Homo-oligomer: A and B are copies of this chain.
Amino acid sequence: MINVSVIGASGYGGGEVVRLLVGHPEVRLAHLVGDTRAGEPFSDVFPNMRGVVDARTEPLDAARVAADSDVVFLALPNGMAMSLVPQLGERVKVIDLGADFRFRRGAAYERWYKMPHTAEGLLGQAVYGLPELHRADIRRARIVGNPGCYPVAALLAVAPFLANGLASPRGIVIDAKSGVSGAGRGTSSRTHFSEVNENVFAYGTPGHRHTGELEEELGAIAADVNLTFTPHLIPMTRGILATVYLHPVHQVTQAEAEAAFSEMYAGEPFVRILDGEHLPQTKATLGSNFCDVAVRVDPRSGMLIAFAAIDNLMKGAAGSAVQNMNLMCGFPEETGLRAPGLFP
């Protein structure tokens, strides 16, 4: 049994971590920190948790959290984790759901997030928390920068085709469709029911911040990556579908294309490869840590079309975070994450 705290427990990402930890057999909850709603019962903040976690959320006391915790999850606005992690000391394992520890160098962070990185010295200890790409490093890491929700889906769709050289690293198109919960719990006209419902639109394009992570991670697989990433908001709460268009370096068959997935993801506990009859749908992943992938060869254009579907709050955030905790702590990787999703 380990002691685990969540800082930023009142947001959607943090709340989902708490939901998962409650069902994790190796975890005892230590502190639930939610500054803006400190003092309220956690079950007022997350009404699904009534009768399950009724303890009050706390204001931040970094020293106390550090003293009482083996693992701390951070689910905070970008820029806050980098000042908080140093206060937690060297003993505590940290999993940051924000962007502060996703980049190898501060300069990349600064380019995309328009603020200086004040804890560059820690970036060397941090690992990008996508187990399918960095499992061995995550096992040894003290700090994990959990990936952004879009990159989880997009990287899992693209990586196999760059890794085995089947697709060109140039001209990659990533068209992603996300549920609204990815925009967080803060209210705005973009998340106002009446304006999002019965609507679809692209946003933050070109230049959405997740482009940075995508370039860095794909750049570690293949040289000279060039990609276009366009996120869209669609009227649902959870889920991301990434549709990715790749140029194969030579003509490929459907079987060759599928083999790229099966070679890379054989044995992966949370990646499900759909065959030529099925295409990913976000609903099949709702509430679970699965990522469903599939690929099609377009016989007319010759392009590869790869798909990945996830629950943005699970595999796209809290699920991956708990998967990382399992790796960092030596628990079986699927511990606490075995529940299939809801359907319908």
Please list the residues of chain A having a beta carbon within 8 angstroms of any beta carbon in chain B: 12, 15, 19, 22-23, 44, 46-52, 171, 173, 175, 177, 179-181, 185, 187-189, 191-203, 205-207, 211, 215, 226-228, 230, 232, 234-239, 241, 243, 245, 247, 272, 274, 278-288, 290, 292, 296-303, 305, 307, 309, 338-344
Nearest B-chain residue to A184, judged by Cβ: B194
What residues of B have a CB within 8 angstroms of the CB of A280 in the complex?
Answer: 201
Q: Find out whether the CB atom of B343 lies under 8 angstroms from the CB atom of A15.
A: yes
Give bound CA distance, A22 to B342, whole Å. Answer: 13
Q: Find out whether the CB atom of B206 lies under 8 angstroms from the CB atom of A300.
A: yes
Q: Find out whether the CB atom of A195 lies under 8 angstroms from the CB atom of B344.
A: yes
**A45 → chain B, closest Cβ, in Å?**
10
Q: Can you list the 9 inter-chain pairs with the closest CB atoms, starting with the nearest?
A: A187-B187, A47-B284, A201-B281, A199-B283, A48-B343, A206-B298, A194-B344, A175-B175, A48-B341
What residues of B have a CB within 8 angstroms of the CB of A228 in the complex?
Answer: 245, 298, 300-301, 303, 305
Nearest B-chain residue to A175, judged by Cβ: B175
Contact partner of A296 (CB less than 8 A), chosen from B205, B300, B303, is B205
Give bound CA distance, A272 to B185, whole Å. Answer: 25
**A229 → chain B, closest Cβ, in Å?**
9
Contact partner of A194 (CB less than 8 A), chosen from B48, B185, B288, B296, is B185
Give bound CA distance, A278 to B247, whole Å. Answer: 30
Q: Find out whether the CB atom of A239 lies under 8 angstroms from the CB atom of B46.
A: no
What residues of B have a CB within 8 angstroms of the CB of A278 in the complex?
Answer: 44, 47
Q: Find out whether the CB atom of B301 lies under 8 angstroms from the CB atom of A171.
A: yes
Give bound CA distance, A286 to B49, whole Å. Answer: 11
Whether A227 contacts B301 in the complex (CB less than 8 A), given A51-B290, A279-B202, comes out as: yes
**A209 → chain B, closest Cβ, in Å?**
13
Whether A48 contacts B243 in the complex (CB less than 8 A), given A23-B338, A206-B296, A339-B23, comes out as: no
Q: Find out whether the CB atom of B282 lies under 8 angstroms from the CB atom of A199.
A: yes
What residues of B have a CB within 8 angstroms of the CB of A340 in the complex?
Answer: 19, 22, 48-49, 52
Show 6 A/B contacts (Cβ-Cβ < 8 Å), sorted by A.
Answer: A47-B281, A50-B284, A195-B283, A201-B280, A202-B307, A342-B342
Contact partner of A305 (CB less than 8 A), chosen from B48, B192, B205, B338, is B205
What residues of B have a CB within 8 angstroms of the CB of A230 in the complex?
Answer: 243, 305
Q: Find out whether the CB atom of B235 lies under 8 angstroms from the CB atom of A235.
A: yes
Nearest B-chain residue to A203, judged by Cβ: B279
Q: Find out whether the CB atom of B301 lies under 8 angstroms from the CB atom of A48.
A: no
